């Protein structure tokens, strides 16, 4: 059986209360598994694990045949077990690695449209499912500055031609009706708090060399105005009672270089590493330093890891520019071509900088349709990607939209899959297997947790397991810029990593409350006996 399960155990004494509401399952599309149905009167929940007596543990599981979270408790066994068929994972908390920042998704216009289409009580259950104490507790989210391909129209926050002084800069109806209300609702139910990383998709057309919203560079004469545009955004959201934790330099600023045919229609702005370095150093950073937002973090790239070494090398060449940046944002597209050792390279060469995965989605390139209700295969792609990236020093992981409709939209571009699918006509929403895949990590690996070592008795290590096929043309990542076009078409857009070898793998964290979270993922369609060992508590 394909499954993901999680064990939580404590090194302190306590008691446990089990009060979860179970999933109401519904068969998904033909040949698929199940979704969990939520509406105004009912939605499944998952309480935080409470401390147990010493030697006991919580056990949460999700599989292709058991939707939602299944939850039980158990007791460690002190006796040694000798079973050659067991996969054994030994937890070693003395070997600690990166700190976890968090997990989340994006407050897109599409998400706001769909949440707004639900009755008020269903809206509340939607927000609670993602952000509340009885939900999967997202705490790190992306916020578009202006429009995206998941907006009802193409727009920026100042489309008045030639407005160099930004006199007409203003938040739009999308901000006021589709983003801000739901950010505030999420903040009101979140105990962990919500960090927002804001990001532009496009500069106003009048600032760009092609005078439109598709592709094009910001003209050098508008660099300072473009920086002021970001400061104005921070100011306007502050007036709404919303603080921004970080700014990125723009969404997928390099992607249309390598996919010009497929993505010419996307609203975006082209940027190279030297341009972003100059703009950050000479314009955006000085304005931030002189404002009330000097603590806002700067995240570079916000694009595929294909470009990451090229990007970071250029920033590292300028000591002053390198000092002002806080980390790098990455998207999972093309990950199947570029080995995760790139992430280890980033950590080893730029150890003080954050490594964040800031966008994940499955689009039409992954299958015959954008939304596949009940798809376990798509959930597996997420599970694999999260384990892969966390095992290589990544500190956060974000999905794309909080919600899409049954067609994977509404969108101005490519339709995509979602962790939650909203059926506006039926006044209900469906939690996909992807939702629970994300939840095993976001709920139980809280901010401040640290990844710890897990040693396996298998003949293959986690590093060897996570070794996708490499695109040989870019094996050393140095040829980019000489010939930078991958084969693509509108029907073959970027796709997520494939799930590799059939194996059982594990990843674990030491949490701020002293508990351990151990996630185990079995990609084999058969039962696998698994044993977890902790030197002070025994075996599970």
Active site residues: 252, 359
> For residues 349 and 225, what is the distance between their CA atoms, to the nearest angstrom?
33
> For residues 355 and 511, what is the distance between their CA atoms, to the nearest angstrom?
19
Which pair of structure tokens corresponds to residue 392?
């290589």
> For residues 64 and 82, what is the distance between their CA atoms, to the nearest angstrom?
30
Nearest to 33 by CA among 60, 7, 68, 57: 68
Nearest to 312 by CA among 268, 360, 356, 345: 345
> For residues 234 and 101, what is the distance between their CA atoms, to the nearest angstrom?
22
Q: Rounded to the nearest 5°, which phi and psi values hold at 59?
A: -135, 120
> For residues 464 and 373, what is the distance between their CA atoms, to the nearest angstrom?
32
Q: CB of 267 within 8 A of CB of 205?
A: no
Nearest to 494 by CA among 366, 368, 403: 366
> For residues 117 and 173, what is the distance between their CA atoms, to the nearest angstrom?
16
Kindly write down the DSSP assignment for every residue of 159-197, as one continuous string.
Answer: -STT-TT-TT----HHIIIIIHHHHHHHHHH-SS--EEE
Mark 85-99 as b/e (b = at least 16 C-beta within 10 Å): eebbbbbebeeebbe
> For residues 524 and 521, what is the distance between their CA atoms, to the nearest angstrom?
9
> For residues 119 and 321, what is the distance between their CA atoms, to the nearest angstrom?
48
Give the contacts of 220 (CB within 8 A, at least 6 positions apart).
none
> For residues 511 and 495, what is the distance between their CA atoms, to the nearest angstrom?
33
């Amino acid at each position: 059986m394909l499954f993901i399960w999680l064990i939580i155990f404590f090194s302190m004494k306590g008691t446990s209360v089990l009060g979860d509401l179970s999933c109401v399952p519904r068969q998904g599309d033909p040949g698929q598994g199940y979704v969990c149905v939520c509406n105004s009167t009912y939605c499944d929940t998952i309480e935080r694990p409470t401390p147990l007596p010493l030697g006991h543990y919580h056990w949460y599981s999700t599989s292709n045949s058991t939707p939602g979270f299944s939850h039980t408790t158990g007791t460690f066994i002190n006796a040694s077990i000798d079973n050659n068929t067991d996969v054994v994972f030994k937890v070693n908390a003395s070997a600690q690695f990166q700190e976890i920042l968090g997990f989340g998704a994006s407050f897109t216009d599409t998400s706001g449209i769909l949440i707004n289409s639900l009755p008020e009580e269903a809206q509340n259950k939607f927000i609670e499912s993602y952000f509340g104490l009885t939900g999967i507790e997202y705490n790190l989210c992306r916020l578009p500055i202006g429009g995206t391909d998941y907006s009802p129209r193409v727009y920026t926050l100042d489309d008045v031609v030639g407005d160099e002084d930004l006199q007409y800069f203003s938040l739009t109806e999308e901000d006021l009706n589709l983003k801000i209300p739901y950010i505030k609702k999420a903040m009101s139910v979140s105990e962990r708090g919500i960090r927002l990383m804001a990001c532009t998709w496009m500069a106003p057309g009048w600032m760009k060399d092609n005078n439109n919203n598709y592709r094009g560079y910001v003209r050098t004469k508008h660099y300072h105005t473009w920086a002021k545009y970001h400061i104005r955004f921070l100011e306007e959201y502050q007036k709404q009672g919303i603080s921004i934790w970080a700014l990125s330099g723009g969404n997928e600023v390099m992607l249309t270089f390598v996919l010009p045919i497929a993505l010419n229609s996307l609203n975006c702005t082209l940027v190279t590493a030297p341009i972003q370095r100059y703009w950050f150093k000479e314009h955006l950073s000085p304005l931030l330093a002189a404002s009330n937002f000097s603590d806002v973090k700067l995240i570079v790239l916000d694009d595929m890891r294909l470009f990451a070494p090229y990007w970071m090398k250029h920033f590292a060449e300028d000591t002053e520019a390198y000092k002002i940046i806080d980390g790098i944002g990455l998207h999972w597209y093309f990950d199947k071509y570029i080995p995760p050792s790139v992430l280890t390279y980033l950590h080893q060469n730029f150890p003080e900088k954050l490594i964040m995965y800031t966008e994940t989605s499955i689009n039409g390139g992954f299958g015959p349709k954008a939304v596949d209700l009940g798809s376990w295969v798509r959930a597996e792609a997420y599970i694999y990607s999260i384990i892969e990236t966390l095992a290589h020093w990544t500190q956060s992981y974000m999905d794309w939209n909080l919600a899409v409709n049954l067609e994977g939209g509404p969108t101005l571009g490519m339709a995509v899959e979602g962790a939650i699918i909203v059926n506006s006509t039926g006044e209900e929403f469906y939690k996909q297997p992807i939702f629970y895949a994300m939840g095993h990590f976001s709920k139980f690996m809280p901010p401040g947790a640290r990844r710890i070592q897990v040693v396996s008795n298998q003949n293959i290590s986690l590093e060897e397991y996570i070794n996708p096929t490499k695109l040989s043309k870019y094996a050393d990542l140095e040829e980019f810029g000489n010939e930078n076009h991958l084969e693509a078409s509108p029907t073959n857009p970027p796709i997520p990593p494939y799930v590799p070898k059939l194996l059982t793998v594990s990843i674990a964290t030491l949490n701020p409350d002293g508990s351990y979270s151990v996630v185990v993922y079995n990609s084999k369609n058969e039962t696998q006996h698994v044993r977890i060992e902790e030197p002070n508590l025994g075996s599970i």
